[in-house]
Structure 1
Amino acid sequence: MTASTVAGQGHGTLADQAYRSLSDRLVTLQIRPGEPLNDERIATELGFGRTPVREALKRLEHERLIVAYPRRGTFATEVQIADLGHISEVRQQLEPLAASLAAQRAGEADREQLNQLLRQLADTSGGDTDLIRLDMAVHRAIYAATRNPYLEDTLVRYDNLATRIWCLFLDRLPALAGHVHEHEPLLHAIIDRDAEKAATLAAGHVDGFETAIRGVI
């Protein structure tokens, strides 16, 4: 799976495309914490004008993936391990809610996408970056199936922050494939419209994420 598969590049405005490209690189730490971002250089690299890039940077700043300092420039935010508890508190409440709603509201197109993701989970032959992107794709498909754009937007933001923490410790954590494969029973529960089981599995996944991180810090 490539970055464009998850990010859906080629769709939406130029600002949307710039946002997705930069977000993917920031979340997977291809742009390292503390690294400067120059809008002119990014625009040249993406083949866009500076205006859509600046719009994308504003959105990324709102999502706490970058920070801008007057007269100093714009930088990828540092990954703050102290934020793990705060992020987990939000996700422990909202991830089960999203899984439950997705089980109740997913339409045929959603269910087909979830089935496609199940097939991809059965063939996780790529590297760690591909697995991270597959993990992100699963979460985003579940959020979209809630049919609640406010919940979806909130959870994408927090999943991005959580994924950055995961990527920071990737070389010290247990096998990534096992973590990603935890989504299989969750996806089955959503497809089967078992809202209670989906919520329970989502809660367990968030708890397992925090436990794994705390085990290596």
Structure 2
Amino acid sequence: MTSPAVAGQSQGTLADQAYRAISDRLVTLQIRPGEPVNDERIAAELGFGRTPVREALKRLEHERLIIAYPRRGTFATEVQIADLGHISEVRQRLEPLAAALAAQRAGEGERGELSRLLAQLAKATDRGLADVTDGGTDLIRLDMSVHRAIYAATRNPYLEDTMIRYDNLATRIWCLFIDRLPSLAGHVHEHGPLLRAIIDRDADKAEALAAGHVEGFETAIRGVI
């Protein structure tokens, strides 16, 4: 969405910030499926004006994280199990593509960020950060950061936007079943070899590892539903 000219660049930046903050709450289920989403209350909680929050909510509605009903209000979308198959069909095709492109195209800055995340994964393992007392929120956010860094490294903004959208939907499903799933830490730390393959420019290996990760995600979810 393009911000009005009168708003200037700062308004667009505020809308992006609001989008990231609200998206994080929706994906990690701080706002539960079916809960109302009140723009005035969220604006006050986040310290934003209502205009950037409303812009963010329009974007989140397009991404199927919220739904607006006339005269009823706006709500976090319910999670439908049937969505898992639809989301996985897309991710099974595009996650391996994104990983391979990242391995081929990532520049020094992007490889530096991927290396930083790889070190962060190793540090989390050393500290024993498994399914920790915060419900695994830190590991979930680390998982999301890894995915977003890989998508950015593809240098394809259309693919990046698409992958963020589907990763958000997939992560939301994971969070819904997190108490019944196998080790969250094991799922997140699978990214270590994937990051190393991308950093080493091994596109074939990165592609295969990404495909296996998506397949493992769907298998784990279907194992508990």
> Shared fold (TM-score greater than 0.5)?
yes
**Structure 2: which amino acid aligns with 1:51?**
T
**Structure 2: which amino acid aligns with 1:171?**
D
1:142 aligns with 2:154: no
Paired position in structure 2 for 1:14: 14
Report runs of 4+ in structure 1 exceeding 4 Å deviation.
none
Question: Percent of aligned positions with the same letter in both sequences?
Answer: 84
Give the superposition deviation at 1:183: 0.4
Paired position in structure 2 for 1:7: none
Give the superposition deviation at 1:80: 1.0
Paired position in structure 2 for 1:119: 119
Secondary structure of residue in 1 paired with 2:123: coil
Paired position in structure 1 for 2:186: 178
Please give the alpha-carbon distance, in whole angstroms, between the structure 1 residues aligned to 2:197 and 2:11.
30
CA RMSD in angstroms comes to 1.4
Paired position in structure 1 for 2:6: none
Cα pair distance change 1:11/1:117, threshold 3 Å = farther
Check whether the contact 2:92–2:211 (CA below 8 A) recurs between aligned residues: yes
Please give the alpha-carbon distance, in whole angstroms, between the structure 2 residues aligned to 1:123 and 1:64.
34
Per-residue CA distance 1:92-130 (angstroms, 9 max, x = gap): 000000000000000000110000001110122453000
Please give the alpha-carbon distance, in whole angstroms, between the structure 1 residues aligned to 2:51 and 2:189.
40
Cα pair distance change 1:59/1:164, threshold 3 Å = same
1:76 aligns with 2:76: yes
**Structure 1: which amino acid aligns with 2:137?**
T
Please give the alpha-carbon distance, in whole angstroms, between the structure 2 residues aligned to 1:11 and 1:88.
35
Please give the alpha-carbon distance, in whole angstroms, between the structure 2 residues aligned to 1:195 and 1:91.
17
Paired position in structure 2 for 1:26: 26
1:191 aligns with 2:199: yes
Give the superposition deviation at 1:11: 11
**Structure 1: which amino acid aligns with 2:121?**
L
**Tell me, which stretches of 5 or more residues in structure 2 are unaligned?**
1-9
Paired position in structure 2 for 1:3: none
Please give the alpha-carbon distance, in whole angstroms, between the structure 1 residues aligned to 2:38 and 2:99.
38
1:153 aligns with 2:161: yes
TM-score (norm 2): 0.90
